[in-house]
């Protein structure tokens, strides 16, 4: 039967009309009675309608097939048993490219892939394929292909063949398969290396040397340094040199190097990207050798970084700050990123226990990691630990005299991090000046008002799309400048905003990739979460590039507004810990006022409370009454005329007990700093002293005394009182 391209098919529309009308009735018939068509018939119809450019009809058949809940392995048998593998693959790819049946086709492809994986990883299937390795050539080729598809999951049984060594011919074939597995074989073989018999250790060392991945280096180095068996030591040393190019690497340092690769989630240490779980290996000779447990992919890299750091600490407990800091950082990240439904019983106390117990040096190291990777939630955890352990110049100067990362946190592009770093410095009451110390008081003052404000940028190649996104974000409570066609067009907006809490982009693929690069190179934007709206092949490519980045979300352009809102809230929660709530803002404000008050009372010359006077005055003017008395008390300690005048103006606006209290704070300011009121304010005060009720009049009179008003004004009060 001749094959036609989509571009030529329309010329045959008239010829196909009758056939199409017959087929078009089938979906409705199948929906009325699902059992009328077999699974094979539904699959055939899906493929057929994709190939004749009727993806809308194909989508109906695919949906019905998916709705039957077919087991993944049974679906593979259905496709391959009918000899449809190639046609199915082409049809799915075509449907995904067209977009009309994209979601249904993607679901069928996922079902097929899951089935193939389940079949390849089945222990019985693996055993049968190993047995075929010494059979006829065709069988050997098929067996090797299936074992490679099984990946790491085939290694335990393959290693058992080497360990037993009963069939030299089979051992040779198995060794060849393990080398062919490459990266997939490295971690299970490395874990087994330390605890197997000397004969098997030599075989594993030789294999790891042939495979050539440096992930095996620390395991090989440990065996080379600790074994008493000469041939094993020589084999391990040869393998270390083969995979690293050096002969004398220290195992504890190599463990940290590989742990860093896991921490940064390098592609080379991720066995099954895109899958929900990853295998973590252990070796128990009495339980059959190599065993694995499944770790959620979201926290797999953190768990492996912890395990490898522990291996380093097992060999060298102290000094080994690099391993300790990486372990603490990884455990904190695991706690932040773990899925809600994941049951991870690690047998450990909560992460903050170790973060605090390890001391301020380790906590500062963790903070440095967080800032370098723009991990806002990890930075906050590290600052919390620093605040509980560090004091004095340890906050801003390291042991070698270099600037501590807590100082850099004052300009990190996230308000929570800035607030919490400033509070840590303020509570320490520093007596020595340090870089950026002048920022602390203004940052604390900025948290008293506007902490709940959220700022967003919109970058869109289509102005109409940009305006629509702007309106939607404003409806969610964001402050949004007019959309720009590029990030450069919005430079003034993001440089003047308190912080950027979200970037939403609708751009072609090349511009989307460029946007990510620009944001990561821009201090004000490197921590901002990014939502990219795309579709078709562009969306697939963006997911391939950035799908594992917790600060980036890729969604299909044109998704419903409620889905968009949910996506934005989830992204904000994941990347920043969510928006600052009213309750949280109140806590920040109260803590900042207390901290500034302590600084003002102690007359701290490093963090000068009066540096924030204008912000505090504005906060008092705009306060809704919740913080008014605390702000007035703080301002009463600041020797600035506008501070005293602001307290009195607020007192004039108040009534009753509130006015009395504010007049009292004005009097306290006058006693500490002298009379700084304006003439019009003194005349208003005299009026209150004459005409106010007893409580207000007494408070006003007390303030007059504190101000040292001229005697003629007092004479007027006395004579007016006599009538």
pLDDT in tens, 307-348: 999 999 999 998 899 999 999 999 999 999 998 888 888 999
Residues 704 and 638 in one domain: yes
* Residues near 612 by beta carbon (within 8 Å), at least 6 away in sequence: 441, 442, 444, 445, 596
Give CA–CA dist 626/5, Å, rounded: 71
Residues 589 and 558 in one domain: no
Residues 650 and 698 in one domain: yes
Asked whether residue 266 is domain-assigned, the answer is yes
**Position 720 confidence tier, pLDDT thresholds 50, 70, 90:** low
Residues 19 and 107 in one domain: yes
CATH number at residue 480: 3.40.50.2300
The arithmetic mean of pLDDT across residues 435-440, rounded, is 93
Q: Report the alpha-carbon angle 404-585-531, nearest 5.
A: 75
Q: What pLDDT does residue 515 have? A: 95
Mean pLDDT of the chain, nearest integer: 89
Asked whether residue 34 is domain-assigned, the answer is yes
Listed residues 121, 137, 156: the one ending a domain: 121
β partners of residue 478 = 454
- Report helix, strand or coil for 502: strand
Lowest mean pLDDT among 60-64, 272-276, 352-356, 467-471: 272-276
* Residues near 355 by beta carbon (within 8 Å), at least 6 away in sequence: 328, 332, 362, 363, 366, 381, 382, 384, 385
Q: What pLDDT does residue 449 have? A: 87
**Position 18 confidence tier, pLDDT thresholds 50, 70, 90:** very low
| DSSP, res 295 | E
Q: What pLDDT does residue 113 have? A: 85
Asked whether residue 110 is domain-assigned, the answer is yes
Listed residues 517, 549, 579: the one ending a domain: 579
Give CA–CA dist 353/327, Å, rounded: 13
Lowest mean pLDDT among 91-105, 546-560, 641-655: 91-105
SS3 content of the chain, % helix, strand, coil (to 5): 70, 5, 25
Residue 405 has pLDDT above 80, yes or no: yes
Residues 587 and 517 in one domain: no
Residue 531 has pLDDT above 50, yes or no: yes
* Residues near 85 by beta carbon (within 8 Å), at least 6 away in sequence: 79
Residue 398 has pLDDT above 90, yes or no: no
Residue 5 has pLDDT above 60, yes or no: no
Give CA–CA dist 668/675, Å, rounded: 11
Give CA–CA dist 178/17, Å, rounded: 55
Q: How many domains does the chain have?
A: 4
pLDDT in tens, 488-510: 999 999 988 888 999 999 999 99
CB contact burial 267-279 (16+ within 10 A = b; e otherwise): eebbbbeeeeebb
Asked whether residue 634 is domain-assigned, the answer is yes
Q: What pLDDT does residue 24 have? A: 43
Q: What pLDDT does residue 253 have? A: 95
Asked whether residue 449 is domain-assigned, the answer is no
Residue 228 has pLDDT above 80, yes or no: yes
Asked whether residue 522 is domain-assigned, the answer is yes
The arithmetic mean of pLDDT across residues 28-36, rounded, is 49
- Measured CA to CA in angstroms, residue 349 lies from 35, 296, 332, 345, 384 at distances of 55, 20, 12, 10, 17
Residues 217 and 334 in one domain: yes
Q: What pLDDT does residue 165 have? A: 86
User: 556: burial class by Cβ within 10 Å (0-12, 13-18, 19+)?
Assistant: middle
Task: Name which of 311, 181, 195 is nearest 257 in CA terms.
Answer: 311
Residue 146 has pLDDT above 60, yes or no: yes
The arithmetic mean of pLDDT across residues 145-172, rounded, is 93
Residues 199 and 252 in one domain: yes
Q: What pLDDT does residue 635 have? A: 97
Q: What pLDDT does residue 32 have? A: 45
Residues 240 and 297 in one domain: yes
Lowest mean pLDDT among 21-30, 227-236, 257-266, 692-701: 21-30
Residues 197 and 296 in one domain: yes
Query: pLDDT higher for 715 or 416?
Result: 416
Give CA–CA dist 618/446, Å, rounded: 10
Lowest mean pLDDT among 94-98, 502-506, 535-539: 94-98
Asked if the peptide bond before residue 26 counts as cis, ω within 30 degrees of 0, the response is: no
| DSSP, res 194 | T
Listed residues 81, 104, 121: the one ending a domain: 121
The answer, as to whether pTM is greater than 0.75, is yes
**Position 4 confidence tier, pLDDT thresholds 50, 70, 90:** very low
Residue 21 has pLDDT above 50, yes or no: no
Domain that holds residue 103: 9-121
Residues 575 and 717 in one domain: no
Can you list the positions of beta strands (E) in 465-609? 478-480, 502-506, 530-534, 552-556
- Report helix, strand or coil for 447: coil
Residues 571 and 595 in one domain: no
Asked whether residue 554 is domain-assigned, the answer is yes
Residues 459 and 316 in one domain: no
Asked whether residue 130 is domain-assigned, the answer is no
The arithmetic mean of pLDDT across residues 125-154, rounded, is 92
Q: Are strands 530-534 and 289-296 parallel, antiparallel or unpaired?
A: unpaired
């Amino acid at each position: 039967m001749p094959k036609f391209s989509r571009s030529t098919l329309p010329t045959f529309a008239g010829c196909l009309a009758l056939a199409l009308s017959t087929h078009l009735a089938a979906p409705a018939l199948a929906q009325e009675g699902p059992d009328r068509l077999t699974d094979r018939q539904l699959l055939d119809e899906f493929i057929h309608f994709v190939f004749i450019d009727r993806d809308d009809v194909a989508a109906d058949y695919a949906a019905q097939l998916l709705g039957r809940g077919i087991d993944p392995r049974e679906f593979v048998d259905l496709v391959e048993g009918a000899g449809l593998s190639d046609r199915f693959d082409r049809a799915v790819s075509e449907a995904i490219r067209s977009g009309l049946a994209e979601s249904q086709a993607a679901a069928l492809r996922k079902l097929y892939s899951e089935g193939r994986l389940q079949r390849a990883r089945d222990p019985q299937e693996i055993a049968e394929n190993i047995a075929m390795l010494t059979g006829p050539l065709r069988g050997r080729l098929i067996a090797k292909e299936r074992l490679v598809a099984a990946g790491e999951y085939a290694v335990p049984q393959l290693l058992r063949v080497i360990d037993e060594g009963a069939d030299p011919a089979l051992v040779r074939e198995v060794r060849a398969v393990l080398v062919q597995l490459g990266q997939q074989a490295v971690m299970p073989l490395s874990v087994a290396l330390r605890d197997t018999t000397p004969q098997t250790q030599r075989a594993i060392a030789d294999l790891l040397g042939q495979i050539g991945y440096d992930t095996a280096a620390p395991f090989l180095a440990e065996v080379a340094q600790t074994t008493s068996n000469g041939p094993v030591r020589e084999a391990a040393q040869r393998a270390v040199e083969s995979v690293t190019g050096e002969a004398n690497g220290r195992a504890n340092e190599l463990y940290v190097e590989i742990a860093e690769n896991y921490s940064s989630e390098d592609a080379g240490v991720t066995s099954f990207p895109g899958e929900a779980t990853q295998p973590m290996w252990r070796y128990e000779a009495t339980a059959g050798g190599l065993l694995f447990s499944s770790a959620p992919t979201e926290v797999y890299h953190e768990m492996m970084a912890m395990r490898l750091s522990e291996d380093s600490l097992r060999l060298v407990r102290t000094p080994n700050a690099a391993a300790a800091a990486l372990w603490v950082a990884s455990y904190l990240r695991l706690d932040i990123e773990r899925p809600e439904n994941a049951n991870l019983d690690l047998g450990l106390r909560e992460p903050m226990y170790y973060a605090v117990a390890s001391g301020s040096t380790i906590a500062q190291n963790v903070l440095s990691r967080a800032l370098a990777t723009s991990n806002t939630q990890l930075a906050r955890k590290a600052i919390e630990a620093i605040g509980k352990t560090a004091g004095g110049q340890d906050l801003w100067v390291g042991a070698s005299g270099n600037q501590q990362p807590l100082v850099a946190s004052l300009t990190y592009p996230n308000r929570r991090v800035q607030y919490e770093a400033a509070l840590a410095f303020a509570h320490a009451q520093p007596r020595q000046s340090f870089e950026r110390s002048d920022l602390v008081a203004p940052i604390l003052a900025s948290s008293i008002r506007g902490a709940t404000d959220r700022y967003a940028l919109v970058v869109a190649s289509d102005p109409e799309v940009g305006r629509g996104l702007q309106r939607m974000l404003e409806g969610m409570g964001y402050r949004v400048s007019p959309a720009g066609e590029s990030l450069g067009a919005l430079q003034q907006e993001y440089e003047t905003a308190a912080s950027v809490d979200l970037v939403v982009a609708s751009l072609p693929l090349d511009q989307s990739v460029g946007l990510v690069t620009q944001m990561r190179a821009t201090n004000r934007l490197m921590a901002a979460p990014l939502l990219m709206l795309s579709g078709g092949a562009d969306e697939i490519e963006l997911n391939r590039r950035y799908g594992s980045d917790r600060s980036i979300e890729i969604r299909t352009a044109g998704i419903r507004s409620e889905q968009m809102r949910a996506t934005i809230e989830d992204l904000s929660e994941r990347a920043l810990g969510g928006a600052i709530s009213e309750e949280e803002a109140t806590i920040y404000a109260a803590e900042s006022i207390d901290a500034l008050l302590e600084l003002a009372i102690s007359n701290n010359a490093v963090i000068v409370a009066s540096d924030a006077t204008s912000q505090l005055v504005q906060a008092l003017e705009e306060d809704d009454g919740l913080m008014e008395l605390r702000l007035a008390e703080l301002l009463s300690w600041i020797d600035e005329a506008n501070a005293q005048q602001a307290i009195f103006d607020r007192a004039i606006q108040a009534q009753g007990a509130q006015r009395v209290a504010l007049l009292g704070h004005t009097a306290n300011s006058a006693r500490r700093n002298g009379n700084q009121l304006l003439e019009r304010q003194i005349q208003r005060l005299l009026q209150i002293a004459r005409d106010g009720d007893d409580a207000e009049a007494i408070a006003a009179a007390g303030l007059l005394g504190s101000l040292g008003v001229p005697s003629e004004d007092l004479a007027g009060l006395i004579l007016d009182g006599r009538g």
